Structure 1
Amino acid sequence: MTDMKKIVSFYYSSNGNTKEDKILLEPIEYSLQCNDIHPYRKISLIFNYWFKVSPDKLQLIDEVMQMAYNASVIFDDIQDEAIMRNGFPVTHSVYGLHYSINAANCLQFIACEKLINLHPMAVKILIEQFIEYYKGQGMDLYWKEKFICPKEKDYNILALRKSAWLNVMVVKVMKLFSTYEEDILSLASTFGLYRQIHDDYCNLRHDEDTNENSYCDDLTEGKMSFLIIHALRNNPDDKKIINILRQRSKNIDVKRYCVKILESYGSFKYAKDILDELEEKMRTEIERLGGNPPFIKLLDDFRNKMLKTHI
């Protein structure tokens, strides 16, 4: 387990009032505990296999990335009305809505503050990617609230904004301090798209003994996930799925029924085929770039997680 006290102390603002910062960021310390195992904790190290950024700058870039990610997690859970994350109650259910929002907002600006003296372009890059994230979140919420089924190409744009923004931010900031000349932004973006579809797939491929509160919670949220879009677009006359989404049901039997419909429509197979294509594309690009064992290990972990899930 990561040393949380050491990490949270890094998150403090530059005003020197650590007692106040400790109070303001208490929800963040809890959020860090919930997300300590997340694969995003490895991203900066994986890309640094190529960039070779100095340890001091790498540490700062990595910490800012974690700050940005953890702030986004709190907002994401609030907007999705989530209950659990990685086996823990979501932050706002423990610390309250207002306290959690304020902590996440504060953390975002402290992240910008950390980058001010690092490089003139670093803060600009972070702000640009924050905007991409919020645009992705906004469209996701719009589709969900209006029960609009987007086209797959529109989903892909959203997925890149929601799941590739941190990858792109890290790559662009690292590039400021590296002589590495290869362009790996496309690889970083592809991994973001892969991760979002992978998350959508695994959310609906839960184990039988999954906690009731987290079983297929994308259905409870009414989310227009990759598999839902495939099913609705290819079976426009079937109204069962869209009506189940409208109910925001927490009933496991209802959600299991929806999963069976998705299975019968070939949505799981289609998603897996797309994931296999994206994975092959990334592995080919990594090989072209001379290899990257940590990145390959991460892809192996994602593949193994997908293989372990079942209905």
Structure 2
Amino acid sequence: MSSSQRFSLLNSLPSTLESQWPLANESLLLEPFTYIASKPGEEIRTLLIEAFNIWLAVPNDQLKVIDRVVQMLHNASLMLDDIEDDAQLRRGQPVTHKIYGIPQTINTANYVYFSAYKELSKLRRPGGGSDENVVRVIGASDLDMVVTGELLNLHRGQGLEILWRDLLQCPTEEEYISMVNNKTGSGFRIAVKLMMAHATKNLDIDFVPLVNIFGVYVQIRDDYMNLQSTEHSDNKGFAEDLTEGKFSFPIVHGVRADEQNRVIMNVLQKRPTTPTLKHHTVDYLRTHTKSFDYTLAVMSSLERQVREEIARLGGNSQLEKILDALHTNTND
């Protein structure tokens, strides 16, 4: 092919490739995402958005975009998380990469991350908007930095959790809490920070401290349920955190409570897939180190702190109902 022919070919390419991207290809590319999103979990993020909107009164069109962005980022992160953990089940069905393969799942998750940023552009106000001079805790012009900063936090937390697992290095309780505030808290903060940037009420109130406590509470509860709950077993497999070698909150306590006994560390090293070692370890945590009793006490303290902060902020019946449901389901 001559240089003139190559030049002619370049000139024939569409200036906007996206306009030439077939919808059929888009559907195929997004199929792994559609698969995981089709089986929703507890929908706690959507419920949280609805509850916080009692305080923030975000216009409905913007609220829908925020909810969509949060769900996109959350489900994309789960697809990658399941690969990193070599998980088998998510929400009671095979994890995405077991159906679609690791390469396609990674590509789709990354595609959804970038698509979420495109969706985020719908929240930007052309020319600054009519309230550009309004003072907010989170500025409406900071949306990209809000999401980018929290995605960095997510990957920092996830990275530490992976390092601890692969190095068989048990963190302290304080290190664990910090990791969770990065990993789990990031998704909740994205939702509430974007809402704060578009609120029509309570513009000067910082809701992030409440979200931080709530995020830690939700993750510790999830850790507890992973080792204790029958329903959780049906959705993710029995004591799957032990198979993944994960230093969850009860496990961190169990290791630290009796550092002369290496039962838990040895089991984590084995990454057990059959019930025998798992049942033995769960029983050890229950009877020897009393780690489940300790975890419940910590959860109770965190729940109390969340309720006190809700009251301090003026009360929120919908948010309290979320806590009531989480509390009830923990004890079932």
How far off its partner does 1:80 sit? Answer: 0.7
Question: What is aligned with 2:6?
Answer: none
1:142-161 equivalence runs, <5 A: 142-161=163-182
User: What is the rounded CA distance, in whole Å, between the counterparts of 1:97 and 1:249 in structure 2?
Assistant: 22
For 1:42-121, what aligned pairs fall within 5 Å after superposition?
42-119=47-124, 120-121=141-142
Match of 1:7 in 2: none
1:208 & 1:175 partners in 2: Cα distance?
A: 35
In the alignment, residue 196 of structure 2 is paired with which amino acid?
Answer: K
1:199 aligned residue (219, 222, 228) = 222
Change (3 A) 1:94 1:292: same
Contact 2:91 2:236 in 1 (8 A): no
Who is 1:271 aligned against? 295
Match of 1:262 among 272, 276, 285: 285
The alpha-carbon deviation at position 209 of structure 1 amounts to 10
Cα distance in 2 for partners of 1:235, 1:194 equals 24
Q: Tell me if structure 2 keeps the 8 A contact 1:194–1:279.
A: yes
1:2-31 Cα distance to aligned partner (Å, 9 max, x none): xxxxxxxxxxx9757432221110111101
TM-score (norm 2): 0.85
Deviation at 1:301, TM superposition (A): 1.2
SS at match of 1:34: coil
SS at match of 1:246: helix
Provide the rounded CA distance (Å) in 2 between the counterparts of 1:195 and 1:126: 21
Shift of residue 116, structure 1, vs aligned partner: 2.6
Quote the sequence identity (%): 33
Q: 1:175 aligns with which of 156, 176, 196?
A: 196
Contact 2:242 2:271 survives alignment (8 Å): yes
Per-residue deviation, residues 188-237 of structure 1 (Å, max 9, x unmatched): 01111001100100101033994597000000001001111111112100
Does residue 302 of structure 2 align to residue 301 of structure 1? Answer: no
Alignment of 1:213-224 (within 5 A): 214-224=237-247
8 Å CA contact 2:226–2:232 kept in 1: the answer is: no
Counterpart position of 1:253: 276
Deviation string, structure 1 residues 241-281 (Cα, Å, up to 9, x no partner): 10011000012121010011101211001110000000011
Task: Give the gaps of 5 or more residues in structure 1.
Answer: 1-12
C-alpha displacement of 1:304: 1.2
How far apart, in 2, do the equivalents of 1:212 and 1:56 lie? 33
Task: Write the deviation string for residues 61-112 of structure 1: whole angstroms up to 9, x where unpaired.
Answer: 1100000001011011111111011111111111111111111000000101
- Aligned-residue CA RMSD (Å): 1.8
Q: Which runs of 5+ in 2 are unaligned?
A: 1-16, 125-140
Q: Which string of whole-angstrom CA distances, capped at 9 and with x for unpartnered residues, describes residues 124-169 of structure 1?
A: 1111111110001000000000000111111001111111101111
Question: Matched residue of 2:237: which SS?
Answer: coil
Aligned partner of 1:225 in structure 2 is: 248
Choose 1 or 2 for highest CA Rg.
2
Q: How does 1:30-49 map to 2 (within 5 A)?
A: 30-49=35-54
C-alpha distance in 1, partners of 2:274/2:235?
9
- The 1:270–1:36 alpha-carbon spacing in structure 2 relative to 1, beyond 3 Å, is closer
Count of aligned positions: 296
Question: In the alignment, what sits opposite 2:132?
Answer: none
CA contact (8 A) 2:32 2:100 kept: yes
Does structure 2 retain, via aligned residues, the 8 Å contact 1:213–1:250?
Answer: no
* Residue of 255, 259, 265 corresponding to 1:236: 259
1:282 aligned onto 2:306? yes
